[in-house]
């Protein structure tokens, strides 16, 4: 994903947003909506998450005037979405259910002997670097499919931590989870990605 790589780029964008530039809003919408959806999807179903993110952008038109830059623009936007999504949850009296019971994915857990050693060890041919692997379009499509199948809670944690590069504390605040629960969500999601890549490399199938 394209990101604002320099602080100065972000400053210029913020100035544009404050001045009400439509082009800068378009740029910001494309840059920050994926992360905002990752936050909203943690709490809400897809339709409500899309509605919440859309409403947030309209709110931002006025709220940006009060943005003082104490946090980055991305973090600020993600917090607005998180607060709105939590309010939506409270109104609808739903609760987020996430499985924090066991750090080990059941499929991976079944690959150990009772004595705790590997019965089916990981394959040993994962040598290419990530950039080279991503050049394989079929693998990239497969990754998309598997990401879509992850529980929202795991996917949101993974997206915010890996793709949007938030720090652990930030993700905990955005998703309202403890540090140890975040570790479980991240680890469960990573194991699923690991198992997917391993199967893909062994069989060529997704």
Does 100 sit near other proteins (CB under 8 A)?
no
Nearest CA among 4, 188, 197 for reference residue 101:
188
Binder of other proteins out of 9, 144, 169, 202 (CB under 8 A): 144
Q: Report if residue 115 touches other proteins, rule: CB under 8 A.
A: yes
Q: How far is the CB of 170 from other proteins (least distance, A)?
A: 14
At residue 16's C-alpha, the angle toward residues 167 and 173, to 5°, is 20
DSSP state of 105: -
Note whether 105 and 192 are within 8 A (CB). Answer: yes
Kindly state the DSSP code that residue 64 receives in the 8-state scheme: G
Would you count residue 198 as binding other proteins (CB under 8 A)?
A: yes
Part of the chain binding other proteins (CB under 8 A), chosen from 66-74, 85-93, 107-115, 169-177: 107-115
The whole-angstrom separation of Cα 155 and Cα 98 is 11
- Least Å distance between CB 35 and other proteins? 7
Binding other proteins by CB under 8 A: which of 133, 151, 176, 199? Answer: 133
Binding mask 22-61 vs other proteins (x if CB under 8 A, - otherwise)? x--xx--xx--xxx-xx-----------x--xx--xx--x
Name the minimum Å distance from CB 93 to other proteins.
27
Residues with Cβ within 8 Å of 157's Cβ and at least 6 positions away in sequence, in order, are 42, 171, 175, 177, 182, 185, 186, 189
Contacts of 156 (CB under 8 A, 6+ apart): 38, 39, 41, 42, 175
DSSP 112: B
Q: How far apart are CA 34 and CA 31, in angstroms?
A: 7
List residues near other proteins by CB under 8 A: 1, 20, 22, 25-26, 29-30, 33-35, 37-38, 50, 53-54, 57-58, 61-62, 103-104, 108-109, 112, 115-118, 121-124, 126, 128-131, 133-134, 140, 143-144, 147, 155, 158-159, 162-164, 168, 183, 186-187, 190-191, 193-194, 197-198
């Amino acid at each position: 994903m394209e990101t604002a790589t320099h602080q100065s780029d972000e400053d210029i964008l913020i100035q544009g947003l404050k001045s009400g530039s439509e082009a800068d809003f378009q740029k910001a919408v494309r840059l920050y909506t994926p992360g905002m959806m990752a936050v909203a999807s943690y709490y809400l179903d897809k339709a409500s998450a899309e509605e919440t993110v859309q409403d947030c952008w309209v709110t931002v038109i006025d709220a940006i005037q009060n943005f003082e830059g104490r946090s980055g623009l991305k973090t600020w936007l993600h917090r607005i979405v998180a607060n709105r999504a939590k309010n939506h949850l409270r109104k609808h009296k739903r609760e987020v259910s996430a499985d924090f019971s066991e750090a080990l994915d059941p499929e991976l857990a079944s690959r150990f002997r009772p004595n705790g050693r590997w019965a089916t060890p990981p394959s040993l041919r994962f040598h290419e670097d990530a950039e080279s692997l991503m050049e394989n379009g079929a693998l990239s499509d497969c990754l998309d499919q598997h990401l879509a199948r992850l529980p929202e809670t795991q996917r949101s944690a993974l997206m915010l931590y890996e793709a949007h590069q938030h720090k652990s504390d930030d993700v905990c605040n955005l998703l309202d989870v403890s540090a140890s629960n975040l570790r479980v969500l991240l680890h469960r999601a990573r194991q699923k990605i690991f198992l997917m890549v391993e199967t893909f490399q062994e069989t060529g199938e997704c």
